[in-house]
Amino acid sequence: MKPQRPARTSLAALAACIAVPLVAGLIDMPAAQADPTVNKVVVLAFDGALYSRIQEAKAPNLLGLAAQGVLAQTSIAPHATTSIPIWATGLTGVWDTKHHITGYGGDAFATYPTVFTQLEKAKPQLRTRSIVTWSALADAAASGTPGVDVNTITSGPNEADSGTADLSATAITDDAPDFLFVDFDTVDSAGHRGSAKPGYLDAITKADIGVGKIVAAIDARAKAHPNEKWNILVTTGNGNKPEGGHGGQSADETANFVIARGPSFAAGTTNTTYSIVDITPTVLTLLGVKPAADIDGKSMVTATPGPSTGSFGIPWPGTGSAG
């Protein structure tokens, strides 16, 4: 008897056998998951600046941020206009009449911790960073347990503001921290010599170039990473007198402004109540941390009726800014 030949399988049948499990596997594969949406916040501390002089200098980047978001101009009177207590207010959301901070050493922030400590305690996975020209603000950022994750000082000559801007832009592009605090100090240094002098406008113009670098880095990062929702908050600690200096209660010294640009803020909106005290609760809210009940500032993203409306007809909230 002749041996039987093995049965032949057609190429078409073989292909069908192979294709079926492959197709089934493709059908069963889960769809690719998009990156989760996350808020990012950058605070620009534009110290010693009068908004009226920013307008006079025609500073394109700061004015552009104001046009693209919320602009508030108000007075912080009767509160302190010296740098240590007013920036303690900016970093805690508590007025000087309550926190009584006159230096950043020791346990100055034990009762009212900085925004860095509040974020790190509530959400230790958040990446926080501080890049400052004025070294005292680095001391404040490092205070508390825990303090800021990464703390950098670019102190030195007044030109250090350009280094602050360059380093901040690089940090945004390469690292994208969840919260970045940036301090520009040259305008305040010029203001000590007089806000009515030409050097003051020159300092605003130079610092505004640095602001432009940071905004460009933010916008490029946001375009490349659509899941990252970037918010920019700008404020000043105090103004300066025409003849120079601050620390008193004149209209120039107590003048304050806030700019807020980002997905949570309506373009072209103005407000008559926001001030530096509202920065910390706004940062906390944007990053999903509930502000403490005993602070004085209020989040600028709280959707409760307020005294002013923007170009979109959206009401904005009153705050604790009057102190």
Walk along the chain (323 residues) and give the pLDDT tens digit of each residue.
434 434 444 444 444 444 444 444 445 555 556 778 999 999 999 999 999 999 999 999 999 999 999 999 999 999 999 999 999 999 999 999 999 999 998 899 999 999 999 999 999 999 999 999 999 999 999 999 999 999 999 965 545 788 999 999 999 999 999 999 999 999 998 888 989 998 999 999 999 999 999 999 999 999 999 999 999 999 999 988 888 889 899 999 999 999 999 999 999 999 999 999 999 999 999 999 999 999 999 999 954 333 333 322 333 233 344 45
pLDDT at 24: 44
Beta bridge partners of 108: none
Smallest Cα–Cα separation from 281: which of 52, 33, 112, 96? 112
pLDDT at 241: 85
pLDDT at 17: 43
pLDDT at 243: 87
pLDDT at 247: 87
pLDDT at 287: 97
Smallest Cα–Cα separation from 125: which of 295, 299, 293, 288? 288
The domain that holds 312 is classified in CATH as 3.40.720.10
Establish if 84 belongs to a structural domain.
yes
Number of alpha helices (DSSP H) and beta strands (DSSP E) in the chain: 12, 10
Give 204-207 contacts, CB < 8 A, sequence gap 24+.
Answer: 204/49, 204/53, 204/54, 204/57, 204/59, 205/57, 205/59, 206/161, 206/162, 207/46, 207/161
Q: Are 165 and 134 in contact (CB under 8 A)?
A: no
The verdict on whether omega for the bond into residue 146 sits within 30 degrees of 0, i.e. cis, is: yes
pLDDT at 309: 32
- The whole-angstrom separation of Cα 86 and Cα 79 is 8
Signed CA dihedral, 214, 189, 321, 151: sign only: positive
Q: Residue 217: helix, strand or coil by DSSP?
A: helix
Establish if 32 belongs to a structural domain.
no
φ/ψ of residue 152, rounded to 5: -130, 135
Establish if 1 belongs to a structural domain.
no
The number of distinct structural domains making up the chain is: 1
pLDDT at 217: 98
- The whole-angstrom separation of Cα 203 and Cα 57 is 10
Establish if 191 belongs to a structural domain.
yes
Establish if 231 belongs to a structural domain.
no
Establish if 167 belongs to a structural domain.
yes
Establish if 204 belongs to a structural domain.
yes
- The whole-angstrom separation of Cα 261 and Cα 36 is 21
Domain membership of residue 261 as a residue range: 38-223+237-316
Our CA angle for 181, 90, 177, nearest 5°, is 20
Task: Give 195's contacts (C-beta < 8 A, 6+ positions apart).
Answer: 50, 53, 239, 240, 241, 242, 244, 252
Quickly list DSSP for 45-59. Answer: EETT--HHHHHHHT-
